[in-house]
Amino acid sequence: MSDLVTYLTRLGDNTLVLGHRLSEWCGRGPALEEDIALANTALDLIGQTQMWLGYAAEAEAKGRTADDLAMGRDVWDFRNLLLLEQPNGDFGRTIMRSFLFDHWHLLMLRGLTQVSDARMAGIAAKAVKEVAYHADRSAELVVGLGDGTEESHRRMQDALDRLWPYVGEMFIGDEVDAATAAEFGAPVPDMLRAPWDDAVLPILAQATLTVPDGAFAHQGGKTGARHTEHLGHMLTTMQWLHRAYPGANW
């Protein structure tokens, strides 16, 4: 797999996995407005997946489609961040997971709008408008719940404590990142850490939440070297129709 195909697959897998996770809330949201908002965010992410994996399939040139990449691969072929495959948990944990990713995603897409690859830049330009809204909304909810009731604060702090060890992977680069940066001018992951901190830490402070100590970071998701058991369970649900009727179409 070329560096470009791997890079595009990572972008598409991130949005696919988080999009499916958020879709699991459909009909189960704590309020009608939040139920609809989560479903719409999931749809945004799945739309972005179609573009990223569609480009990856074309660049791969093996006759596969975006649907084949989404529904025809098993766990070890996925290249998503470990953060995104974590279970939804309660509403607070779902929002915290989105919040931590949204602000990284926004920085990444803004950088990708400037790359020399016109197709990649065009997809990023379409997606960045949606993700700017995602980041604003998740930030508002983190503040509202973190600085809300004693119970909501407890749940948001618990969510942050649980998910923080998965944050570091977003900023760990490898040879694929280096090659894409050199060829197209794509953002280098570790250079996103400072602006991410500048965006995220003041919001967590406003939410009266305490950032956990320690720099430990789970990693391996974006390289496919390691995934949690949760991804396998998720794919069993997400891919069951394709597995039951391989090659079927409408």
CA–CA separation, 105 vs 84, rounded Å? Answer: 12
pLDDT for 192 equals 98
pLDDT for 250 equals 65
Backbone angles phi, psi at 173, to 5 degrees: -95, 165
Q: Which two tokens stand for residue 42?
A: 């999931």
CA–CA separation, 182 vs 189, rounded Å? Answer: 13
Phi-psi map region of 78: left, alpha, beta (phi>0 left; psi -120 to 50 alpha): beta
Instruction: Report whether 100 contacts 156 (CB < 8 A).
Output: no
User: In terms of residues, how long is the chain?
Assistant: 250
* Radius of gyration in angstroms for the set of CA atoms belonging to the chain, rounded to a whole number: 18
CA–CA separation, 31 vs 134, rounded Å? Answer: 18
Instruction: Report whether 110 contacts 186 (CB < 8 A).
Output: no
Q: Tens of pLDDT along the chain (250 residues)?
A: 799 999 999 999 999 999 999 999 999 888 898 999 999 999 999 999 999 999 999 999 999 999 999 999 999 999 999 999 999 999 999 999 999 999 999 999 999 999 999 999 999 999 999 999 999 999 999 999 999 999 999 999 999 999 999 999 999 999 999 999 999 999 999 999 999 999 999 999 999 999 999 889 999 999 999 999 999 999 999 999 988 998 777 6
CA–CA separation, 102 vs 140, rounded Å? Answer: 12
Q: Which two tokens stand for residue 32?
A: 């009608």
Give this prediction's pTM.
0.96
Within the chain, what is the greatest distance between any pair of CA atoms?
A: 54
Domains of the chain, residue spans: 3-244
Question: 136: Cβ–Cβ under 8 A, 6 or more apart, which residues?
Answer: none
Instruction: Report whether 38 contacts 29 (CB < 8 A).
Output: yes
DSSP 69-128: HHHS--GGG----HHHHS---SHHHHHHHHHHHHHHHHHHHHHHTTSS-HHHHHHHHHHH
| C-alpha to C-alpha distances, 224 to 73, 77, 108, 242, nearest whole angstrom | 12, 6, 20, 22
Instruction: Report whether 79 contacts 13 (CB < 8 A).
Output: yes
CB burial of 154-190 (b: ≥16 within 10 Å; e: otherwise) equals: ebbbebbeebbbbbbbbbbbeebbebbbeebebbebe
Residue type for position 96:
M
* Level-2 CATH architecture, domain 3-244: Up-down Bundle (1.20)
